[in-house]
Each structure stands twice: as structure tokens, then as C-alpha cells.
Amino acid sequence: MQSLGGDGDEKESIPDFHHPGVTLDNKERAAVLFKAIDSLPENQKTAYTLHKLEGLSYRDVSEVLNTTVSAVEPLMSRANQNLRKQLEEYYNKHYK
């Protein structure tokens, strides 16, 4: 069991929940996300992957891409906008 905050005897407990349907749904969502990332323009995909998946700072991303931090910021913004658009379309189609 896992606890949900609080202190002492006031902690609420939730059961560990592992259900094949939930696991499958998470795998499908991950596949959709990675497909969306893969469809980004190369420079956006590289910046997004380095920052979000590899955990690099914008400064480190700028060094890898041989550019400036001020160039990485709009690149990440466009990547986020493109991903948001693609994922909204997917979820509107499949979950509404």
C-alpha cells in the first residue's frame, strides 16, 4: 500500500494498482507521444529530446546544437506548440 500525505494515523492508504489495461493504455499513449516527437522538424526534435528526455539544460542543449540559449528557447516553444497540436488532435479523435 502507498500513503497519501498527512501525518501519523491520518494517512490515507491507496492500494498498489497494476492492471494490464492501464499498462496497455500507458504504452499506447507513450507510443503516440514518441510518434509525435519523431514527426517534429529535426532541430525541434533534437532540442526537445535533449531537454525533456535527456534532462539537459537549455544551455547544454545550445552547446550540443552549436547555437545560443536565446535560439533554443523559441525552438522549444515551437516544438511544444507542434506537439500540443498533434496530441490534441489525437485525443480529440480518440477520447471524446
Which range of 14-23, 25-34, 73-82 scores highest in mean pLDDT? It is 73-82
Residue-level pLDDT at 90: 85
In a domain, 47, yes or no: yes
In a domain, 16, yes or no: no
In a domain, 34, yes or no: no
In a domain, 78, yes or no: yes
Which CATH number fits the domain that encloses residue 84?
1.10.10.10
In a domain, 3, yes or no: no
Q: Say what angle helices 69-95 and 20-38 make with each other, to 10 degrees.
A: 130
Range of the domain at 73: 41-96
Task: Please tell me the total count of domains within the chain.
Answer: 1
In a domain, 94, yes or no: yes
Backbone phi, psi, residue 55, to 5°: 80, 15
The pTM of the full predicted model, rounded to 2 decimals, is 0.70
41-56: pLDDT as tens digits? 999 999 999 999 999 9
Query: Could you tell me whether strands 12-14 and 2-4 are parallel, antiparallel, or unpaired per DSSP bridges?
Result: antiparallel
Residue-level pLDDT at 19: 57
In a domain, 2, yes or no: no
In a domain, 33, yes or no: no
